[in-house]
Chains A and B, each alone.
Chain A
Amino acid sequence: MEFKPLTCEDQPKVRFLVVDDSVFARKNLCKMVQAFGGEVAGEAGDGCAAITEYASTHPDIVLMDITMPKMEGIEAVEHIVRDHPEARIVMVSSVGYQDNILSALQKGARHFVQKPVKPEALYEIIRYVLNDPVAQAPATVGEVQS
């Protein structure tokens, strides 16, 4: 599937931080990011590393897993948003129950997508989060689960 390259303000490429404890999942998400015309600014394998990596790379979008060792994704969101209120974080997790989603959104995450990730769904959600005026509102929380 072909995607129109994502844009963010006047930057040539949207920069992503990909956070997941699974190397395989990160590789898969990085492949999607590149298919969207984005650039992988950094990767992290747990919440602690994500906080450090965010501070050093200042990405446009963070794709954040929830269940991770050392520090889980929701706690990492809280830390990142507290220090960087402008952070745009999309949760990407296989565990998509309402409590988890609500907790992530309350901590400052902008959206949620459930694994396995459909590239076209992730693309639309990222466009929405980037506040592209032509984007259609993607699935709401209750519709995320397949």
Chain B
Amino acid sequence: MKMELIQPFINSLDAVIAETMGCPAQIADVTMEEGNYKRTGIAALVGISGEIEGRVILDMDTVAAQQVSADLTGPASNPTEETARETVCELTNMVIGNAVTQLNNHGFKFRVHPPEIYSLDGGLQGALDTEAVVLRFETPKGAVYLNIAVRYKQRRSGEHAHVNVLCP
């Protein structure tokens, strides 16, 4: 996978975590995965279609998500798993939105779909020819995982049969 496609997501996660959680996020581990992705906490998935296509999953520890939710919506709110899911969805939306803004401003045209909760415990089937990069970020509030499986659409032509990465 091209680094130029991954870097905007790393930059964006770093900026969004700093702004919303008020703390730094440092990359603790990077792995490549070709198989299914198994979430560790609450995960949200955003699909991307157009000249760049694929999907990105943001996965966050449940307790950390509840804490971020409480921090952002005020002490009066009582964080539940539902609000934690909402928080992860919105954080995902912000991270992917900011990243695709950078990519789009470099001339790539594509569409971002609304985030959806990724609730499968058995993992997500990836595309045949697109491995995922999984980055683990450490923050003072817990680990955040970013699973990125994106590619240039043109590259796929004639190489493999179409596999819809967005449909688990």
Which positions in A face B, CB cutoff 8 Å?
21-25, 27-28, 31, 67-69, 93-99, 114-116, 118, 145-146
Contacts and interface: CB of A to CB of B under 8 A. Distances in A.
B153 to A, nearest CB: 18
5 contacts: A22-B86, A67-B114, A95-B101, A114-B97, A115-B97
Contacts of B93: 22, 25, 67, 94, 115
Given A22-B90, A67-B114, A97 B15 contact: no
A94 B105 contact: no
A23 B94 contact: no
A100 B114 CA distance: 15
Nearest to B77: A27
B94 A115 contact: yes
A67 B112 contact: yes
B20 A116 contact: yes
Nearest to B15: A146
A93 B97 contact: yes
B97 A24 contact: no
Interface string B17-61: 001100000000000000000000000000000000000000000
Given A22-B86, A68-B114, A94-B96, 6 more contacts: A22-B93, A28-B73, A94-B93, A97-B100, A114-B101, A145-B105
Contact of A24 (B69, B105, B113): B69
Interface in B52-106: 69, 72-74, 77, 83, 86-87, 89-90, 93-98, 100-102, 104-105
A146 B99 CA distance: 11
Contacts of B100: 95, 97
B16 interface: yes
A24 B85 CA distance: 9
Nearest to A97: B104
Contact of A116 (B73, B87, B94): B94
A67 B15 CA distance: 21
A96 B101 contact: yes
A114 B98 contact: yes
Contacts of B69: 24
A126 to B, nearest CB: 19
Contacts of B89: 22, 24
B147 to A, nearest CB: 18
Contacts of A146: 15, 19, 98
